[in-house]
Every structure is written in structure tokens, then in C-alpha cells.
Amino acid sequence: MARFVYSMMVSLDGFVETPDHSLDWVYVDGELHRFINAQARQHEMFVNGRRLYGVLRVWDTITTDQPDLADYMVEFAEVWNTKPKLVISSKLQEVGRNARIIHTPDVDSELRLLNQQTDGELDIGGPMLAATAIRLGLMSEFRLFVQPVSIGAGTPYFPRGVRLGLRLVDAYRFASGVVYLAYQPA
């Protein structure tokens, strides 16, 4: 069985993006990036929705011979480019290296099948895809990187109308003021 983890940057007021899908409020320094890199190394696969995958595709273009990039960025690109990626989308037609698309209107069945047929940690990314996994009771861990900013509105980290009992399993405060919180279902 898979172990689904949902890891996103979150504003203090609980949003993962602004109403116009902007992430201009997110701050990631070297310390935070290295922490994320270490977690990413543990993933068997990245499972993304179309929009988040589109944001992350920038990592396809980064190579280890780019001297102007910080070492932690090159490190993440190496992790991203070596791990398999699955994009669940009804609209996307093309993906980058080491990725495949599942075109389906039945996301519920695909996530259940993925859960049954895959071992290890799967990073499920994108609030809409994660909301489906949450509603199905498939999420094993919630990893929030709480940014010290309130954005007022946007897409919530947790889906509306879903009540979850959670227990804190890890926490860390970064020098930047970002706070990492990890929860598992109670």
C-alpha cells in the first residue's frame, strides 16, 4: 500500500495560492529548500494535478552545470529529474522526462488503484488532487510549510466541508519564520 503525503506551502490563514493562482507570497531560502530536498529524496513518486505539475516543470530545465544556481536548487532538480512523476489530468497533453499522464474523469478510482498497487511514499501535489485523496481517506500525512504571511483568500490547503482529527508528528521552526508542521490522521 502506498503512503500518500500532502506537502505544500501554506499561508497563515490556510491558503496554498491566491485567487489568481499566484505563489508570489512564498519565500524559500536555502535552509528550507534543503529540508524539502531531503523529504523529496524519500518519495517513490510525485503525483500531481495539471496546474502544480506545470509550475514544477521548470525543474526539468535545470542542469548540474549551471554555475549561477544555488547548490540546493541543483540538488532538487536532480531529485525531481530522477523520480518518476504521474500527472492526473483530463486536459494536459504533454509531460516532461520521467513522467506519464493518466487521462481520466474517474480520479477516485485512479487514486485507489495507485494506493493498492504502489509501495512507498507518494507525494501528492495540488490542492484539488489532494482534496480527492483526503475525501477518500487515503492521506497518510499532511506536511504544511506555514509561511509568515496572510493572503486573505485563495485555494485552501484542506478541502472545505471535510472534518479531520489529526495528531502532530513533527514540527520545526526555520530561521526565516516559516514553520513546518506534520500531522497524521488521529
Among 138, 120, 121, which residue's Cα sits nearest to residue 129?
A: 138
Q: What does the pLDDT average to over 26-37?
A: 97
**CA 133/CA 163 separation, integer angstroms:** 14
Q: In 116-148, which positions are buried (b, 16+ CB within 10 angstroms) versus exposed (e)? A: eebeebbbbbbbebbbbbbeeebbbbbbbbbbe
Query: pTM higher than 0.85, yes or no?
Result: yes
- For range 73-89, the mean pLDDT: 90
Measure the CA–CA gap between 72 and 35, rounded to whole angstroms.
10
Strand spans (E) along 28-163: 43-49, 85-88, 99-102, 120-125, 139-147, 155-156
Q: Domain 2-185 maps to which CATH number in 3.90.1010.10, 3.40.50.410, 3.40.430.10, 2.30.30.30?
A: 3.40.430.10
Neighbours of 180 (CB within 10 A): 18
pLDDT in tens, 101-128: 888 778 888 899 989 999 999 999 989 9
pLDDT tens digits, residue range 154-167?
999 999 999 999 99
* Whole-angstrom distance, CA of residue 49 vs CA of residue 124: 8
Mean pLDDT, the chain, whole residue set: 92
Beta bridge partners of 141: 5
Q: If you average pLDDT over residues 64-68, what whole number do you get?
A: 77
Q: What is the pLDDT of residue 152?
A: 98
| Residue 146: predicted pLDDT | 99
Separation CA 91–CA 105 (nearest Å)? 10
Q: Which residue has the higher pLDDT, 63 or 2?
A: 2
Domain boundaries, the chain: 2-185
Q: Residue 103: what pLDDT?
A: 85
At 111 the pLDDT is 93
